[in-house]
Chains A and B, each alone.
Chain A
Amino acid sequence: AQKITQTQPGMFVQEKEAVTLDCTYDTSDPSYGLFWYKQPSSGEMIFLIYQGSYDQQNATEGRYSLNFQKARKSANLVISASQLGDSAMYFCAMRGILTGGFKTIFGAGTRLFVKA
């Protein structure tokens, strides 16, 4: 079975500081994708970043980077230079191909608060 674990229900970070949101996963699928989504208070789900299990380099998208450690089954999101607008709920997600079927599963989320 596939599983995503986000152990930080809430995180605080000072504006302009970097923050790491933790995500660990469990799968027996040899090929899978890992995703991070942002959900602001308005409710929409915004795709941030993607990492393929066979990608050699960690994914980066602007201020977002994914610290992918395959052996440890972790896919932490790093947000650099935090901004007030980064305050939101962040979800880690995974989709496998074989054992995972075709569904993307989500972790419970981490609520990030950026302080001025």
Chain B
Amino acid sequence: DSGVTQTPKHLITATGQRVTLRCSPRSGDLSVYWYQQSLDQGLQFLIQYYNGEERAKGNILERFSAQQFPDLHSELNLSSLELGDSALYFCASSVGTGVGELFFGEGSRLTVL
């Protein structure tokens, strides 16, 4: 158990809909990262927050948005969903923004029909 909690674990929805994925980092970790893993693909970095502020942005679509709240949990909002958005979405956390390792949640598997 990494200590990072993601909900929901599985989500099935239709095209055009909007979903919210939730992440609680490990206790004491200030940084939260979101990654997307499509079928048999590597992990694509989406966005990172540190103590409530956005710190780095990857290839995140404009239809996607995220935020980190004062209690450090984070949410990833995916809207106007398309079939290609079906993927495993990981949240990870780390203590800071240095070179320490990331601790991953179990992921949220999104299926768009």
Contacts and interface: CB of A to CB of B under 8 A. Distances in A.
B104 A44 contact: yes
B107 A50 contact: no
A91 B101 CA distance: 13
Interface stretch (B17-25, B50-58, B73-81): B50-58
B43 interface: yes
Contact of A45 (B31, B45, B50, B90): B90
Contacts of B55: 101-102
B84 interface: no
Contact of B58 (A31, A44, A50, A103): A103
Interface in B80-113: 88, 90, 92, 97-104, 106-107, 109
Interface string B35-56: 1000001110100101000011
Contacts of A50: 100-101
A93 B104 CA distance: 13
B53 to A, nearest CB: 11
Nearest to A9: B40
Interface of B: 2, 31, 33, 35, 41-43, 45, 48, 50, 55-56, 58, 88, 90, 92, 97-104, 106-107, 109
Given A47-B101, A102-B97, A104-B33, 9 more contacts: A35-B102, A43-B109, A45-B104, A95-B99, A103-B45, A103-B58, A104-B45, A104-B92, A108-B42
5 contacts: A35-B101, A43-B106, A47-B102, A47-B104, A102-B97
